Copies of this chain bind each other. A is one copy, B any other.
């Protein structure tokens, strides 16, 4: 999933407009976007994303992430898996440690839908 999930027509790509304002989302578009939003719509996973994004180098080791929560290690591992399978986090194993970094294509897919709603009246 290296390409943006949400395919936009030229009209939809215009600065002012989003598929959500320009015209109703198709069923397929809604399914794709909701998959991404479901992955993000959890307080633990939001904090995981923000920890990775704000960490130096834009990546964080699982060991660091575990320490930021009062949750069991399997639970954090589960949340990281959800984010990874949704395409929001990339995983890289280096030696004993596993590092996660944000996948900006997936973030773009969400932002492309949500951002244009901001300025509209």
Task: Give the secondary structure class of A's interface.
Answer: helix
Q: Which residues of B contact A63 (CB under 8 A)?
A: none
**Given contact pairs A110-B114, A111-B118, A24 touches B50 in the complex (Cβ within 8 A):** yes
Residue of B whose beta carbon sits closest to that of A39: B41
Interface size on A, residues (CB 8 A): 41
Q: Which residues of B contact A42 (CB under 8 A)?
A: 34, 38
**Given contact pairs A58-B121, A111-B114, A121-B104, A31 touches B43 in the complex (Cβ within 8 A):** yes
Q: Please give the residue numbers on chain A whose beta carbons come within 8 Å of chain B beta carbons, in ascending order.
A: 19-25, 27, 30-31, 33-34, 37-38, 40-44, 46-47, 49-51, 53-54, 58, 68, 102, 104, 107-108, 110-112, 114-115, 117-118, 120-121
